[in-house]
C-alpha cells in the first residue's frame, strides 16, 4: 500500500479527520462508523450538527450493510452511475450508521466516488468514510489540495493530493427513500439521465420529504457579493458597477472584455485571472463542463484579488450548466440565510 494511503487509514482508524480528493470536490473525511470522528467533522467545518454527511462506499455491494428497505432502484442507479457523482438518499441501517453522521435522520446519503485515491482509502479502511465538502460551512467548496490547505490546513493532520477535481461541483443528490424519486441537488448527472434508468420520472424537490439542509439558501458563497446578469448585459453592468467598487467578472464562456477596460485580451484567451487596478476577470473557456470545473477556483481567485462584487453571466442552461446555475444562485443568495 502506498505510504500516504497507509497514513490516511491509520489516522482514520484513530478517529482523526483528513482531507480527501474525490472527482467532484475535496472532502473532509472521517471513519463513518465512529460517532466521535463524525462529530469532529462538524466542529472543524463549523457546520450545524443537524446537517447530515454523505457516506462514501467502496462499491455498491456495501449498500446492504449501511442501507435498509428495498434497494432495487438504488442498485439500478448504482450499476449505471457508480463509481460517480451521484448520491442516493435511502432508509438507513441504524445498526451500522451512527446518528451523528445522519443528523438524527432515519435516512442516509450514500455514494461511491470515482477517484482512485478516495477508493484506495475506503477499500484499505474496510469501511465507509463520511465526508462533506472540505470548506468552512457556507463557503466555496475546494477543488484542489491547496484550497483545502488554505481553508482548513491548520485543523487536519493530512490532506491527500489527487490533483484538481475532474468535475468541480458536488454530486447530484436523488432521494429514493419515498415512493417517488426526487432531485434534491442538481449535479453532473441530470434528472433525465436518472429517470431514463429508473423508468420513472425524477421529480423536482417538493419540499415535503427529508430535505438536504444547506442546499436551499445561501451557500457556496465567496466573501464578495455575487450578482448574476444576462450575458448581453454583462459589460454594461461592469461599466456601471466599476465606479463604486473593485469588480470581478467570472467570464464563464470565454467572454472577452471590450478594449475600453484596458485588459489584455491575449491573456484571457487562456484561462485564469487577469486584472488591472479597476477590474479583475477570471477567464473560463470551453463550454459548461469547463464552467463547472473552474467555477469554484474562479470564485476563490476573484475573492483573493480583493473584489467586492463578482459579476457572472448566466451559464448555458444545458447539461451540467443547470447545476452551475444552481451553485451561482446560491452564491448570490442573500447572506445570513444559511440553514
Ligand atoms: O460531491 C459530493 O457530494 C461531495 C464529495 C465530498 O463527495 N460532498 C458533499 O457533501 O457535497 P456536503 O456535506 O457538502 O453536502 C451533502 C449534502 C448536504 O446538503 C446534506 O444536507 C445532504 O447532502 N444530505 C446528507 N444526508 C442526507 C439525508 N439523509 N437526507 C437528505 N439530505 C442529505
Ligand atoms: Mg458542501
DSSP 85: S
CA of 49 to the centre of ligand 1 (A): 13
Question: How far is residue 289's CA from residue 285's CA, in Å, rounded to a whole number?
Answer: 10
Q: Kindly give the number of the ligand 1 atom that is closest to the alpha carbon of 85.
A: 1
pLDDT tens figures, 259-278: 899 887 665 555 789 999 88
Measuring from each residue's beta carbon to the nearest atom of ligand 1, which residues come in under 6 Å? 22, 24-25, 27, 51-54, 85, 87, 89, 102, 105, 107-109, 113, 131-133, 170-171, 173, 184, 210, 212-215
H-only helix segments in 82-166: 99-102, 116-125, 145-152
Question: How far is residue 252's CA from residue 177's CA, in Å, rounded to a whole number?
Answer: 36
Give the largest CA-CA distance in the chain: 64
CA of 161 to the centre of ligand 1 (A): 22
pLDDT for 210 equals 57
Residues 105, 49 contacting (CB under 8 angstroms): no
pLDDT tens figures, 289-331: 999 999 999 999 999 999 999 999 999 999 999 999 999 999 9
The owner of cell 420529504 is 209
Question: How far is residue 118's CA from residue 325's CA, in Å, rounded to a whole number?
Answer: 27
Nearest CA to ligand 1 atom 12: 132
pLDDT tens figures, 209-235: 656 555 545 677 888 999 999 999 999
pTM of the model: 0.95
pLDDT for 91 equals 98
Residues 283, 272 contacting (CB under 8 angstroms): yes
Q: Which residues pair with 29 in a beta bridge?
A: 18
CA of 111 to the centre of ligand 2 (A): 15
Give percent of the chain above pLDDT 70: 93
Residues 189, 164 contacting (CB under 8 angstroms): no
Amino acid at each position: 500500500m502506498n505510504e500516504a494511503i497507509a497514513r490516511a487509514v491509520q489516522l482514520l482508524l484513530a478517529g482523526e479527520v483528513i482531507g480527501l480528493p474525490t472527482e467532484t470536490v475535496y472532502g473532509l473525511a472521517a471513519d463513518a462508523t465512529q460517532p466521535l470522528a463524525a462529530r469532529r467533522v462538524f466542529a472543524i467545518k463549523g457546520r450545524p450538527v443537524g446537517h447530515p454527511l454523505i457516506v462514501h462506499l467502496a462499491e455498491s455491494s456495501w449498500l446492504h450493510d449501511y442501507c435498509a428497505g428495498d434497494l432495487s432502484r438504488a442498485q439500478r442507479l448504482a450499476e449505471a452511475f457508480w463509481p460517480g457523482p451521484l448520491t442516493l438518499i435511502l432508509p438507513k441501517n441504524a445498526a451500522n450508521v451512527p446518528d451523528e453522521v445522519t443528523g438524527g435522520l432515519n435516512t442516509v446519503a450514500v455514494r461511491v466516488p470515482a477517484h482512485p485515491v478516495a477508493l484506495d482509502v475506503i477499500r484499505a479502511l474496510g469501511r465507509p468514510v463520511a465526508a462533506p465538502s472540505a470548506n468552512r460551512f457556507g463557503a466555496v467548496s475546494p477543488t484542489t489540495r491547496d484550497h483545502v490547505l488554505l481553508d482548513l490546513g491548520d485543523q487536519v493532520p493530512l490532506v491527500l493530493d489527487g490533483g484538481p477535481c475532474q468535475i468541480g461541483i458536488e454530486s447530484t443528490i436523488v432521494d429514493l427513500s419515498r415512493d417517488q424519486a426526487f432531485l434534491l441537488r442538481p449535479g453532473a448527472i441530470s434528472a433525465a439521465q436518472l429517470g431514463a434508468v429508473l423508468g420513472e420520472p425524477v421529480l423536482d424537490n417538493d419540499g415535503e420529504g427529508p430535505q438536504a439542509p444547506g442546499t436551499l439558501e445561501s451557500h457556496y458563497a465567496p466573501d464578495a457579493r455575487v450578482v448574476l446578469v444576462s450575458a448581453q448585459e454583462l459589460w454594461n453592468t461592469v461599466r456601471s458597477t466599476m465606479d463604486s467598487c473593485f469588480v470581478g467578472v467570472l467570464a464563464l464562456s470565454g467572454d472577452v472584455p471590450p478594449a475600453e477596460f484596458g485588459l489584455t485580451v491575449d491573456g484571457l484567451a487562456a484561462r485564469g485571472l487577469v486584472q488591472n487596478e479597476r477590474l479583475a476577470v477570471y477567464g473560463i473557456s470551453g463550454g459548461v463542463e469547463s464552467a463547472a470545473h473552474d467555477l469554484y477556483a474562479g470564485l476563490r481567485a476573484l475573492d483573493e484579488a480583493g473584489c467586492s462584487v463578482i459579476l457572472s453571466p448566466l451559464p448555458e442552461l444545458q447539461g451540467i450548466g443547470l447545476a452551475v446555475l444552481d451553485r451561482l444562485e446560491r452564491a448570490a443568495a442573500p447572506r445570513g440565510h444559511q440553514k
